[in-house]
Amino acid sequence: SRKRRNSGRLTWTSIWSGIGEVFDKSKENMPKALSRKEPKKGSTLTIGDLSAVVEKDLGRGSYGVVLLLSADAAQQDDEVTDDVVAWKVQTPSGCLALEFTILKKLERRIRPHVRGKIPFPLPKAFVEFSDGGLLAMTAGSRTGLNLIDLSNVYKLSGEGSIPELLVMHYTERMLNHIETLHWHGKILHCDV
């Protein structure tokens, strides 16, 4: 059975605290605020009545960007449960719909007690525009720090490389994620 696509009005709550809804805006262009080149740390993204502050650019690729966003204080309401959310914005939308579907499957297959130990992003919303798409999901952390940031901290502090014990810790975490993805999620990650 096919899921019904929501062609209704995008609201703050539907994107920010969504429960995995799909919005069909394929007759509309992606808002300029989501342009791949524009969002900078501290800037405010506004889409209709939606408004969020860019906390960090988590990564960029050939087709898009992943941003860590925080709720604009004026936009928050009782239904907003997360203070930070990750948005993957891509032009064209390409495989974003597939990524959304995979995240929905993982949410269903990986039990909450397992997800509590090994967090995976949970899908909040997928919006398809005529020239791109937006995938909103829970953020992996409130800071958006990653292993490259950790490496840079050690280099800039003059300590050199990351200590072996810390490397072992993060290697174990990554392997646990992959094992959970394969064993509990029943999804084979081929890009490892």
The pLDDT score that the predictor gives to residue 175 is 92
In the three-class reduction of DSSP (H, G, I as helix; E, B as strand; rest coil), residue 44 is classed as strand
- Residue labelled with tokens 């394969």: 182
- Whether the pTM exceeds 0.85: the reply is no
Q: How confident is the model at residue 15 (pLDDT cuts 50, 70, 90)?
A: low
Question: Pick from 114, 119, 125, 43: which is nearest to 89 by CA?
Answer: 125
Q: How confident is the model at residue 84 (pLDDT cuts 50, 70, 90)?
A: confident
Cβ 68 vs Cβ 55: under 8 Å: yes
Exposed / middle / buried, residue 145 (Cβ in 10 Å: 0-12, 13-18, 19+):
middle
At 21-78, the pLDDT tens digits run 888 888 988 877 776 566 778 888 776 666 788 898 888 888 888 999 887 655 555 4
At 109-127, the pLDDT tens digits run 998 888 878 788 888 889 8
